[in-house]
Structure 1
């Protein structure tokens, strides 16, 4: 049943995207909106789009390759020669050389396509902001988030949750594959909302607050920790802009106190989910411990992140100089 709901929401969101890009919308923003919407649409049907289809590539991967290729053709070459992009080209070169040295060609192509995907979207948004301004660009970009946000709300209403943790907690991710990737969609939505200035769209504060609440329901610790400073700055600025100079000191002191109280309230209500953070901080030696010596309980700390980090570090320490350098 929920798959049918996904399809219906996808069709409705596509109509909204079409109406947006055929209005007062430059071609670079239209490209970014369509590319992001397509990614979210394909990811929603992961049982079909994730398995390998052609030459080891999935439908999702082929879509990313197509978007990256189209972006390279659409965006003027001058954008790719900007000096601020030079650090990314250093990274691209390091990835390519590293893949060749370690003979991991398919994996290298996969990573380079992802970074190229990022590069063309960044270039498209850069050109759109120069053409139509920040507020107009990000206001229209919000339409690309319609499908995942609506699906998450529906998953809460219909009780469509994914059990993710041994402690019995659940994640509401709108029928998407994994809470890690879905949490980044909601983080991006929050970030875009935060970049839109006051009085640009109606219910801006309400939508931002809803998005933060939805992120908590995703139940992914890394994303929640990531968004805390962004949310704090958003609400602090919101209050500060409405005050007269003489009112700022006392009222902002009260607001800061409230922020701290809310933070501690959230910490207490989710202390079981964040217990691993304290456990890791009190056992930092685990990070440099050889993975073969991890017990079953230690492997589960922070959803196996510490165990995975130890594998990376151990592999690095035992590699030759050429592999360590690249």
Structure 2
């Protein structure tokens, strides 16, 4: 008979560039991980299914029995139906991901949105632990938000809640790939920051980390950085007035800049709220791992396994040999 310590869940975070998978033990430690290209120019659905199968086989080879698998993606995700309605970067449209992975692996499958899954991780064991109402914004290639109300991530009427990257912050501003102008994502995402920096004469190929390092000496870097933090603070003020979160959690590469990033964002947020104090703005506890940890938590819940408060913190430790 399989002992409890041999039980595990599988967690898969599908991105536009890579797919990250992990075998997560009953104690929350990552026992094994792998990353493969998402092959957006080939067959990304096949790539996801192949990684899930490999992950299951790897778990069995470790002597661990998977109880369930959690798979999270960007885009419009119908968690109830287990269908990815639309994900532009993956060329997913009406992909019945739960049914496909369940048929392949013979396991219970939880399908979710990556930002909402990251919110689950932060609520259970991260920067929003113990809170029922908060916002999480991972600032990556794009910007989405986990809107957590009364302890549950809100999907919205069309599974599109949290697409705050396309909130206009500079009306009539620079064009966005969505067809609008002045979107938050153009100015404050890591990808948007790099594109604006290059377009305005900055060093070609510089990423958000390079730009942060150059803020003190490069006027172009300073200008795009100030635009980004001001735009984000403005957007967070609108979200605060709409949702009244107890806390706002920021993740992604820009958050790695620490006070250089958080101080002006907090100042911009405070300056846009004349009659009420702003909510605390904190850094994500899990960073780039948040969605994967959330996928593991969703898998445990799908399998009917307990998720004690703080369970996901073990995932931040080095993988168990």
TM-score normalised according to structure 1 size:
0.25
The structure where helix makes up a greater share of residues is 1
The structure where strand makes up a greater share of residues is 2
TM-score normalised according to structure 2 size:
0.26
